[in-house]
């Protein structure tokens, strides 16, 4: 086996960010030991922590450090302390900034129902029993998140505006990711838009079906976003790969995450043109439980597994982490957010991490 060193930038961020990132680091170290790899971690400031320390949410040093790394692991940013800052200075701005700076136009958000967590799924049993395994492919560096915005004086006085813009180029490249992803799965893409209203959606729809022709054996159906929000709770098992714009993907991935039982379970990978990616749980900084040691570290640990798979091509190592998570759940171990009606005693963040490491 070739032993490799991988340089990972750590963006712990705010709230529960530091606790869950440290859990994932411990899991990576254990995997490194088991498989003979060295993971080197370099922390950088981001979000509120960076505002407190250097007056800005995304210091240049952080961007440079991430660009010089092999991959990035992020916790979460934001919290009530920084909620009254203006748009440009908010911690969330750092997240958009780092995604753009690293060219991470793809966001993969897998939402699957673990058999052991069926009881936590808020859907009626006859719907949940079908299970689901969805890969949401969210466009991450375009659309309304990055469009022209501002304040001005209009007919009724002060007004604010945000604009959505998508280029054919941006739609083509995210479409290809969706089709490539579907090829390795069940071959079914659902493209979600609002083509009955939005011009960007009409270009999206037209473009994706042009790209579809390049992919044999993969089908692509369109669905309007309002219908998609409904279909996700009506029959989630109908979806394989979902591809959608930045904002629709943001909203639908939170909806899908809750179907898995807890948003504390969902990892994500943000990818661009090279192997450097950024990996983070899809949940936020959860200020209400920060520092209490009770956060569910699984989403971040599974994000680390995605890093091994997508950035480092360490497939066995990634499988090993995912299998360990399966085992803890099957063994009935739970953090507070996934207790459901299991009657289990909630584990702390550290205890859950130890339990996963013990099962690697």
Q: Which residues contact 184 (CB under 8 A, 6 or more apart)?
A: none
Which residue bears the tokens 């604009």?
A: 163
State how far the Cα of 173 lies from the Cα of 191, in Å rounded to an integer. Answer: 14
Give the residue at shortest CB distance from ligand IPM: 92
User: b or e along 25-37 (b: 16 or more beta carbons within 10 Å of the residue's beta carbon)?
Assistant: bbbbebbbeebeb
How many CB atoms lie under 10 A from the CB of residue 291? 11
Judged by CB under 5 A, the stretch of 93-101, 123-131, 165-173, 246-254 that binds Mg ion is 246-254
Residue tagged active-site, from 148, 226, 273, 319: 226
In the structure encoding, which two tokens stand for residue 115, read together?
Answer: 């058999």
Asked if 19 is part of the footprint of Mg ion (rule: CB under 5 A), the reply reads: no
Tell me the C-alpha distance between 202 and 213, whole Å.
18
Q: How far is CA 89 from the centre of its chain?
A: 23
Q: What's the closest the beta carbon of residue 95 comes to ligand IPM, in angstroms?
A: 5
Nearer to ligand IPM, 170 or 250 (CB): 250
Catalytic annotation present for 145: yes
> Should residue 250 be labelled a site residue for Mg ion when binding is judged by CB under 5 A?
yes
Beta carbon of residue 254, minimum distance to Mg ion (angstroms, whole number): 5
Is 254 known to be catalytic?
yes
Smallest gap from residue 304 Cβ to ligand IPM (A): 17
What's the closest the beta carbon of residue 37 comes to ligand IPM, in angstroms? 28
| Active-site residue (options: 6, 44, 114, 145) | 145
Q: Which does 95 bind (CB under 5 to 8 A by kind): ligand IPM, Mg ion, none?
A: ligand IPM
Residues in 150-179 at the binding interface with Mg ion, rule: CB under 5 A: none
- The stretch among 200-208, 233-241, 244-252, 304-312 that binds Mg ion (CB under 5 A) is 244-252
β-strand 269-271 against 278-279: which pairing, if any? antiparallel
From Mg ion, ligand IPM, none, which one binds at residue 193 (CB under 5 to 8 Å depending on kind)? none
DSSP alpha helices (H): ranges in the chain? 17-35, 48-54, 60-67, 91-101, 125-128, 168-183, 199-212, 225-234, 246-259, 298-310, 315-330, 349-358
Residue nearest to Mg ion according to CB distances in the complex: 250
Nearer to ligand IPM, 37 or 268 (CB): 268
Give the residue from 136, 139, 108, 113 showing the smallest Cα distance to 229. 136
Cβ-contact 111, 132 below 8 angstroms: yes
133, 222, 254, 354: the active-site residue: 254
Q: Which residue, 133 or 254, is less far from ligand IPM as judged by CB?
A: 254
Among the options 166, 194, 279, 337, which is catalytic? 194
* C-beta separation of 102 from 67 below 8 A: yes
Cβ proximity to Mg ion, 13 vs 59, nearer residue? 13
- Evaluate whether 332 touches 342 at the Cβ level (below 8 Å): yes
Helix (H, G, I), strand (E, B) or coil at 6: strand
What is the closest distance, in whole angstroms, from the C-beta atom of residue 249 to Mg ion in the complex? 9
Helix intervals (H) in 213-348: 225-234, 246-259, 298-310, 315-330
The site partner of 351 among ligand IPM, Mg ion, none (C-beta below 5 to 8 Å per kind) is none
Give the shortest CB-328-to-ligand IPM separation in angstroms. Answer: 25
Q: Indicate the residue among 92 and 133 with the shorter CB distance to ligand IPM.
A: 92
Query: Is 6 or 146 the residue whose CB approaches ligand IPM more closely?
Result: 146
Residue 92's binding partner among Mg ion, ligand IPM, none (Cβ under 5 to 8 angstroms by kind) is ligand IPM
Under DSSP, is residue 13 helix (H, G, I), strand (E, B) or coil?
strand
Q: Contact positions toward ligand IPM, by CB under 6 A?
A: 92, 95, 250, 282
Calpha distance 259→170 (Å, rounded): 29
Q: How many residues bind Mg ion (CB under 5 A)?
A: 1
Binding stretches for Mg ion (CB under 5 A): 250
List the catalytic residues: 145, 194, 226, 250, 254
């Amino acid at each position: 086996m070739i032993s490799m060193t991988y340089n990972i930038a750590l963006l712990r961020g705010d709230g529960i960010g530091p606790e869950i990132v440290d859990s994932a680091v411990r899991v990576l170290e254990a995997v490194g030991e088991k498989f003979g790899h060295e993971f080197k971690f370099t922390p950088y400031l981001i979000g509120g922590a960076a505002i407190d320390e250097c007056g800005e949410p995304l210091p240049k040093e952080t961007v440079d450090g991430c660009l010089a790394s092999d991959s990035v692991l992020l916790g979460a940013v934001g919290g009530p302390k920084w909620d009254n800052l203006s748009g440009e200075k908010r911690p969330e701005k750092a997240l958009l900034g780092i995604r753009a700076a690293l060219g991470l136009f793809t966001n993969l958000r897998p939402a699957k129902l673990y058999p052991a967590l069926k009881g936590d799924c808020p859907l009626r049993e006859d719907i949940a029993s079908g299970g689901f395994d969805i890969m949401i492919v969210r466009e991450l560096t375009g659309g309304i998140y990055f469009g022209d915005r501002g304040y001005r004086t209009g007919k009724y006085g002060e007004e604010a505006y945000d604009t959505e813009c998508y280029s054919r180029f941006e739609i083509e490249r995210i479409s290809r990711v969706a089709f490539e992803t579907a090829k390795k799965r069940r071959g079914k893409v659902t493209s979600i838009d609002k083509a009955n209203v939005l011009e960007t959606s009409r270009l999206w729809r037209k473009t994706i079906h042009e790209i579809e022709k390049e992919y044999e054996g993969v089908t692509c159906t369109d669905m309007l976003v309002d219908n998609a929000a409904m279909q996700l709770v009506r029959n989630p098992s109908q979806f394989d790969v979902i591809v959608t714009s930045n904002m629709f993907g943001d909203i639908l991935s939170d909806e899908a995450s809750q179907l898995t039982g807890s948003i504390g379970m969902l990892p994500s990978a943000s990818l661009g043109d090279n192997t450097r990616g950024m990996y983070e749980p899809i949940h936020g900084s959860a200020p209400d439980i920060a520092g209490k040691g009770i956060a569910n570290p699984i989403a971040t640990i599974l994000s680390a597994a995605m890093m091994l798979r997508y950035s480092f091509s360490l497939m066995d190592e990634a499988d090993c982490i995912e299998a360990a998570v399966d085992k803890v759940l099957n063994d009935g171990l739970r953090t507070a957010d996934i207790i459901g009606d299991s009657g289990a005693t909630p584990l702390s963040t550290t205890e859950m991490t130890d339990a996963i490491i013990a099962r690697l």
